[in-house]
Amino acid sequence: MAVVSEDPQKQLDWEARQRPRAGIAAIVAVLTLIGGFWGNVQVGNDAPTPSGLEALQRGVRPGPVNDLPSLQIPRMQYIVDHQALLLVLGVVGLIAGIAAGWALGFLAVATRARRPELKRWVIYLPIVGGVLSGLYTLLGIVGEVVHDNQVLDSGRTVADAAKGNGLLVFANALGFFALIASAGAYVLVSLNAMRAGLLTRLLGVVGIGTGVFFILPLPLFGPLLQVLFQAALALLLFRAWMGGIPPAWDTGRAEPWPARQPAPRRGAPKPEPTPQPAGPAAPERRKRKKRH
């Protein structure tokens, strides 16, 4: 995805061709994000969890624990039994990341055409972040399935469960860069799109909040705001946004939102009305003669 001609009309023609695809990508992102979240919640609720009390008893017991059976075996068995479902969720996560990055990347291109202050490399940041996020989700699930299969095929001891997995290590490293790229993309693109007049102030704040909550340790807010932002972006791209489309989408130029005027303070003198220029004097009505 690259910036097209600087001519506003050519830019509008390009956007008219690409807008439906970006809108479909935003809808796909919303559906897959919701589906992936729901599937992970269901799997997480049904998966058995090890007893914390038993783990504490093992910790205070004298002697090494590496040769004892791992308390994670029931959970690993559940993962292996449902590995097909988990792999489907991984593919759904990959699609969600790419679709969300595509929709946000289209917004970045449209923003830079109207606001040259936005650096060129920023328009590629949503695609990079989306692809990395999708790969992190898929590779993380694949690595977990492979690791659990290896443990169940071995002695199933604590030492076997603690063995590292190269694919999981790579997926976690990928996830770090995906988090940074995605957070930066949402903040930079939303801020500049709002300044260019392509996003309303409310939608711009939601986009910035999405990137911020990706980094803050509040795991539910980031995905929730991402779903809301992608849903609103889909309505905007399909010109179904409540209250009308911002003018910048039709002019091809930046149309900054007007600044709010500060409210007058209490006790401040009210501004005197501007005197109006005096018009021509109205002709005097002739006095009617009184009849005697």
Q: What is the pLDDT of residues 137-165, one digit of tens each?
A: 999 999 999 999 988 888 888 888 888 78
How many CB atoms lie under 10 A from the CB of residue 197?
Answer: 20
The radius of gyration computed from the CA coordinates of the chain, to the nearest angstrom, equals 30
**Domain-located, residue 192:** yes
The reported pLDDT for the residue numbered 4 is: 45
**Domain-located, residue 279:** no
3-state secondary structure the chain: CCCCCCCHHHHHHHHHHHHHHHHHHHHHHHHHHHHHHHHHHHHHHHCCCCCHHHHHHHHHCCCCCCCCECCCHHHHHHHHHCHHHHHHHHHHHHHHHHHHHHHHHHHHHHHHHHCCCCCHHHHHHHHHHHHHHHHHHHHHHHHHHHHHHHHHHCCCEHHHHHCCCHHHHHHHHHHHHHHHHHHHHHHHHHHHHHHHCCCCHHHHHHHHHHHHHHHCCCCCHHHHHHHHHHHHHHHHHCCCCCCCCCCHHHHCCCCCCCCCCCCCCCCCCCCCCCCCCCCCCCCCCCCCCCCC
**Domain-located, residue 204:** yes
**Domain-located, residue 237:** yes
How many CB atoms lie under 10 A from the CB of residue 115?
Answer: 18
The reported pLDDT for the residue numbered 7 is: 78
Number of structural domains in the chain: 1
**Domain-located, residue 229:** yes
Residue with tokens 């690791």: 147
**Domain-located, residue 63:** no
The closest alpha carbon to 40, from 76, 90, 77, 100, belongs to 90
Q: Report the predicted TM-score, pTM, of the whole model to 2 decimal places.
A: 0.82
| Measured CA distances, 234 to 23, 25, 102, 231 (Å) | 5, 8, 12, 5
Query: Could you tell me the residue range of the domain that residue 22 belongs to?
Result: 11-47+70-251
The reported pLDDT for the residue numbered 282 is: 46
The reported pLDDT for the residue numbered 90 is: 95
The reported pLDDT for the residue numbered 26 is: 97
**Domain-located, residue 25:** yes
Residues of the chain below pLDDT 70: 1-6, 51-63, 258-292
**Domain-located, residue 167:** yes
Taking the C-alpha atoms of residue 191 and residue 44, their distance in angstroms, rounded to an integer, is: 35
